[in-house]
Structure 1
Amino acid sequence: MKAVLLAVWDYKSVFAKEELLTDSDEDRATRRARRKECHLRSANRMLEALKTNSGIYVKIGQHVAAVQLLPQEWTSTMRPLQDQCFPTPIEKINEMLVNDLGTRLDDLFIDIDPVPIGVASLAQVHRATDRETGKRVAIKVQHPDLQEFAKVDMKTVNFAIALVKRIFPDFEFSWLGEEMNVMLPLEMDFRHEASNSRRARGNFKHLEGKTSVYFPEILWAERRCMVMEFIEGARVDDLAYLKDHNIDRNQVSQELSRIFSQMVYMDGYFHADPHHGNLLIRSKAKGSKSPYNFDICLLDHGQYFDVPDDLRVNYARFWLSLIQRTSESTTAERKKYAKLVGNIDDDMYPILESAITGRINMSDAGNEHDSMAGSRPSSLLDEKHMDDKEIAKLRAAVMERDGLIVSIFELLRTVPRRLLMILKLSDLQRSLDQSLATTHGQSRIFLIVARYCADAVWRDDLIRIRQAWRRTGFTLNLVSNFVSAFWSHAYWSMTLGVAEWGMDVRARIVKMGLWIHGLQQGGLAKAREQAAGLH
């Protein structure tokens, strides 16, 4: 609570001083600098408090780090929490299992590694061999003291959020408390995680031979202990591992986009806690039906979200409108679907579009910046890039918009929590594409998303046409609707297919250029490293 109160006082003081500032360029710069400093001070205080209290507090910090709408000072400061979790001694784990199951680790497993191979805010994972089957397994066990303090911690967090909201009515953090109240009890029961994993695996069953995704087998699960197949592999963004196993990083990035797009747009059921640590890659295992020479193993299934059909399809239509060239009609269409999926009005629309695409929307930043309109992309397929000075000017222009911070928190209050989680997933895809140092350009993953969106819209159109057939029978209007839907899907399939082919050809040329450059610098070894993105 001390960190929260200090942050509240800090913000109050900074905003009080802003009332004395004018709208001059000098005072605008002063305002930006003071806010950035306040963000950073408050975030650092909160970081230390979350690390000290650990448990669910670390989990909260991880969520804050993933919400790209928040100021960068907050998200970047909280990001280390994704890797800074402390292990529970194996003796305490044994005590917990005796209380829960009446047995110790030694009774169930042999060759137990007492040092966990992974530690998260809620649990840790140990490597062992199952005594009954002889299989190499990963044992996921909850931190024992989590259950004891969870209720008190949740009440404390809810109280802190309510306090901030009372003092700053425009600063909307209730979404964070709501998510914690709903998801945390589910995450603390590994039986729920096992159920999520089985359902997700079932959703991909019909794609065997067409996807590289792999869901580790779960041997058994109890409330605070789960035993699953042990996966030998590396983080999906480990470029050295990819090079050593001759795995194409471009294919890895594209497959990740296909996996998550399938979840969101086709299945309507997606992994809601995606980060680099939950994704492992390995060489194609014996018996694997992956179409590539690798498997992507998806871990930690504690958080999943169902997406209502109307949100899923309308968001797909929204994405397709973003792919199209900007015009009066496409802009109107974008704002129409923004209203449908997130109840977003025209004033907040640019912030939503920037959050979805990772690009700054300047359409409403002010007429004084219209001279830079030619620098910004007119669609997600526009490969035009801005230099650092242009990006800095655009960001500054966006930050000058009246009430920007209030608008951001209004957006967080307005947008459905499921849409926030989809945005979080989109951010992961962009982040992974960057960390994999791909040569195909970021628009390549946008194309993959668009292809799944087109399929989702086509499937929805067919469902609506069948429903109309049952209601009214054969009509000319029904034929017209079918032809229109068919032509739209055919157009997208052809257009996206050509664009994908072109980008893949260019990616190969770029990679070949890197290989030749490395060869000139240091022979074949250097050429392989350059082509693998290691330099």
Structure 2
Amino acid sequence: MSISRFLKFSSLAGIGGYTGYVLHQNDWNPRHIGIVRFGFAAYAVGQIAFDYKFSVLKLRDDSEETLEKWSQCHQRAANRLLRLCSTNGGVFIKVGQHIAALDYLVPKEYVNTLKVLHSQAPRSKFSDIKKVIEKELGDKLDNIFDEFDEKAIASASLAQVYRAKLYNSNETVAVKVQHPKVFQHSLVDIATMEFLFNVIDRLFPEFSLMWLVNETKRNIPLELDFVNEAKNSEKIAILLKDLQWLKIPHIYWKYTTKRVLMMEFVEGTSITDKEFFLANRMNCQEIANRFENMYGRMIYTYGTVHCDPHPGNVLVKKTSNKDFYLYLLDHGLYTQLTDEFRQNYSAFWMAIFRGDLKQIQERAIRMGIEEKDAQLLSCMVTAKPWSAISRGLENRPKDQTIISEEKNELRKNASLYVHNISQILGKVDRQLLLIMKTNDLIRNISHVLGCDERRSLLNMNRYCIQTVYEQRLSQCQNNNIFKRFAIHLQTRYLYFKLSLYSFYLWIDSWFTTTRLSC
């Protein structure tokens, strides 16, 4: 054999051997290899960017033909993104779920296509999960548990949850275990996203998606740290301890690490199972009220916010006295609002409630938005078109035809102004990004429960008034008795107006119920 042929054969053998080694290290699955995952992502993102650039970007009118072309392009992009998320899994699924939660902030094609990711999370083999548990807890599974159900009761993008019973104990626990490869993949996937979106940002500055990358970089490491999640759950349990109907599962710290979380096992019904509630004569309005009050406290009173209230993370359990508990699960994704932001955000909502354009603009500027974009920001935050905001949300119509027309107007604007919305998301105060996502999820749950939107706005406005009142008092000198009295009087007046509005809604609801029963 000649030297050249020998070298060629050796090179091929070396490449083949290295390829085999890499595949072996990645469970013989090419999709687990970093360069392969990068290739899938680069191809999909490139297709999406070029499709928008050359198909619709120059179309700015609102004719039916233009809207149809935008819709088709959105759908093609959403399909490509769904394939990418399903192929690469892990962080990509988490990003897809985040986009799907931005109802009215992104075109409906994305929301409708990507929402399936909430129910299509990957599942790891039990043998791999067992290895993670034993490595993290430093003992054999049989030495820790009397029983361990091998079938996961829940599976998400980053972890799976199992039911088990502790060794020599009657305590039933839920064991959350991180997918074996998810941390390893997350490092590559986040770097991939950052690189690709940086390239897209330079080539097509109209698509400013770096806000999504920055949020992913900030949040994924926190969600992958189950010790952090356990601390979040205990913190919110203390803050909301006076809500007797709210339950946060107890943490077993002895068996909790960064990749394994053990907690009290709880059972309940998803908060969106309206048929179950009606069949069991449970008050859907009261369920929605408690849910909204829980989040009102988190956002406007304490600024410590659980940012993933999708239906699987909020359970309802009926008690023997026809009352019910709410269980709040999955505390991995939180945001801590500063007092300044919390106060500005509350005042922003109060201005929107009254339709006060001047205050809307002033508060938007304080949250990092230019005056010209204040109207669009208010539409993004409220999921309402400007025609509804300008007349004040306190004057919300009950007519479903008008509400339906508003939704269609908002959907159309989301398609036409996708680049404007993206640019605002890139400039706005970082704290607002997760809050907007959280608000959308809250609205969706309240809508499914059949809650009167006007009552939801009323409940939220009470919290906003209290926050602004406390801010104004803190800025007032203690010896200025007259100014403090004036602030108190103004606040009482606002509460009085809300009470009148609440009475009006009660009368309206009573008449509606009476007419339906006749």
Structure 1 and Structure 2 fold alike (TM over 0.5): yes
Cα distance in 1 for partners of 2:512, 2:141 equals 52
**For 1:142 and 1:444, how far apart are their aligned partners in 2?**
40
Deviations 1:138-194 (A, max 9, x none): 111111111222211111111121122122112111111111111111111100000
2:305 to 264, 270, 276: 270
Distance 1:132 1:339 in 2: 60
- Residue 122 of structure 1 and its aligned partner are, at CA, apart by 0.3
Which residue pairs with 1:334 in the alignment? 360
Contact 2:269–2:316 under 8 Å retained in 1: yes
Alpha-carbon separation, structure 2, partners of 1:502 and 1:56 = 47
- Residue 469 of structure 2 is matched in structure 1 by 458
Q: Which residue of 1 aligns with 2:36?
A: none
Query: Aligned-pair distance for 1:110?
Result: 2.7
Alignment identity in percent?
29
1:472-509 C-alpha deviation (Å, 9 max, x unpaired): xx3xxx23321221012101222212322332454355
SS of the residue 2:326 aligns to: strand
Residue type at the aligned position of 1:387: T
Structure 1 residue 512 displacement after superposition: 5.9
Secondary structure at the aligned position of 1:197 is classed as helix
- Residue 314 of structure 1 aligns to a residue whose secondary structure is helix
Alignment partners' CA distance in 1, 2:289 and 2:423: 34
Name 1:346's counterpart in structure 2. Answer: 371
Q: In the superposition, relative to structure 1, how do residues 127 and 501 fare at CA in structure 2: closer, same or farther (>3 Å)?
A: farther
Paired position in structure 1 for 2:509: 507
* SS at 1:237 equivalent: coil
> What TM-score does the superposition give when structure 2 sets the normalisation length?
0.85
Pair 14,323 (structure 1): closer, same or farther in 2 beyond 3 Å = same
Question: Could you tell me which of 29, 43, 55 is aligned with 1:2?
Answer: 43
CA distance in 2 between partners of 1:266 and 1:392 (Å): 30
Q: Which residues in structure 2 correspond to 1:400-479 (within 5 Å)? A: 404-438=417-451, 441-465=452-476, 468-469=477-478, 474=479, 478-479=480-481
* Partner secondary structure for residue 281 of structure 1: strand
User: What's 1:525 paired with?
Assistant: none
Alignment partners' CA distance in 2, 1:396 and 1:428: 17
Contact 2:383–2:410 (8 Å) recurs in 1 = no
What secondary structure, in the 3-state scheme, does the structure 2 residue paired with 1:138 have? strand
Q: Distance in 2 between matches of 1:111 and 1:285?
A: 29
Q: Report the equivalent of 2:204.
A: 168
Cα distance between partner residues in 1 of 2:101 and 2:173 = 30
- Using the TM superposition, give the Cα deviation of residue 50 of structure 1 relative to its aligned residue in structure 2, in angstroms: 0.7
SS at match of 2:123: coil
Deviations 1:68-118 (A, max 9, x none): 312221222111111111221211111112222222333222332211111
Q: 1:344 deviation in Å?
A: 2.1
Q: For residues 382-428 of structure 1, give each alpha carbon's deviation from its aligned partner in whole angstroms, at most 9, with x where no partner exists.
A: 23236278447745874797xx3332122111112211211122212
Shift in Å, 1:40:
0.7
Worse-superposed segment, 167-176 or 237-246 = 237-246
| Distance in 2, Cα, partners of 1:70 & 1:163 | 22
Whole-angstrom CA distance in 2 between matches of 1:191 and 1:397: 43
Secondary structure (helix, strand or coil) at the match of 1:348 reads helix
Find 2:187's aligned residue among 121, 134, 151: 151
C-alpha separation in 2, matches of 1:351 and 1:185 = 32
Taking the TM superposition and a 5 Å limit, the aligned residue runs for 1:222-371 are 222-284=257-319, 293-324=323-354, 326=355, 330-340=356-366, 342-362=367-387
Show CA shifts across 1:304-326 (max 9, x none). 111111110111111112222x4
Which TM-score applies when normalising by structure 1?
0.83
Which range is displaced more, 502-511 or 419-428? 502-511
| Comparing 297-306 and 342-351, the one that deviates more | 342-351
Corresponding position of 2:248? 215
Question: For 1:424, what is the secondary structure of its paired residue?
Answer: helix
CA distance in 1 between partners of 2:392 and 2:233 (Å): 36
Q: Is the 8 A contact 2:75 2:109 kept in 1?
A: yes
Q: Distance in 1 between matches of 2:415 and 2:443?
A: 26
Distance in 2 between residues matched to 1:228 and 1:318, nearest whole Å: 38
* Secondary structure of residue in 2 paired with 1:381: helix
Output the CA distance in 2 between the equivalents of 1:136 and 1:244.
Answer: 29
Q: Distance in 2 between matches of 1:22 and 1:319?
A: 30
CA distance in 2 between partners of 1:386 and 1:464 (Å): 43
One-letter amino acid of the counterpart of residue 281, structure 1: V
Is residue 182 from structure 1 mapped to residue 210 from structure 2 by the alignment?
A: no
| Residue equivalent to 1:520 | none
Whichever residue aligns with residue 216 of structure 1, its letter is: P
Is there any run of 5+ residues in structure 1 with no aligned partner, and where?
287-291, 363-374, 518-535
Q: Structure 1 residue 511: deviation in Å?
A: 4.8
Structure 2 runs not aligned, ≥5 long = 1-41
TM-aligned CA distance change 1:234 to 1:400, over 3 Å: closer
Q: Alignment length, in residue pairs?
A: 472
Residue in structure 2 matched with residue 367 of structure 1 by the alignment:
none
| Letter paired with 1:163 | V
Assess if the C-alpha contact under 8 Å between 2:176 and 2:261 holds in 1: yes
Could you tell me how far 1:227 is from its partner in structure 2?
1.0
Looking at structure 1, the residues matched to 235 and 307 of structure 2 have their Cα atoms a distance apart, in angstroms, of 14
- Give 2:113's match in structure 1, choosing from 77, 87, 106: 77
Larger CA deviation: 498-507 vs 343-352:
498-507
CA distance in 2 between partners of 1:427 and 1:233 (Å): 23
Preserved contact between residue 308 and residue 333 of structure 2 (Cα < 8 Å):
yes
Conservation of the 8 A alpha-carbon contact between 2:129 and 2:179: yes
Corresponding position: 1:141 with 2:159: no
Q: Residue 486 of structure 1 corresponds to which residue in structure 2?
A: 488
Q: Which amino acid aligns with 2:401?
A: D
Shift of 1:242: 1.4
**What does the per-residue CA deviation read over 1:188-208, in whole Å, with 9 as the maximum and x for residues that have no partner?**
110000000111111112x24
- 8 Å CA contact retained: 1:196, 1:304: yes
Distance in structure 1 (CA, Å) of the matches to 2:407 and 2:97? 27
In 1, are the aligned partners of 2:384 and 2:410 still within 8 Å (CA)?
Answer: no
Residue 265 of structure 1: CA displacement? 0.7
Structure 1 contact 285–295 (Cα < 8 Å) conserved: no
Partners in 2 of 1:356 and 1:225 — Cα distance?
36
The alignment's C-alpha RMSD in Å is 2.4
Q: CA deviation at 1:377?
A: 6.9
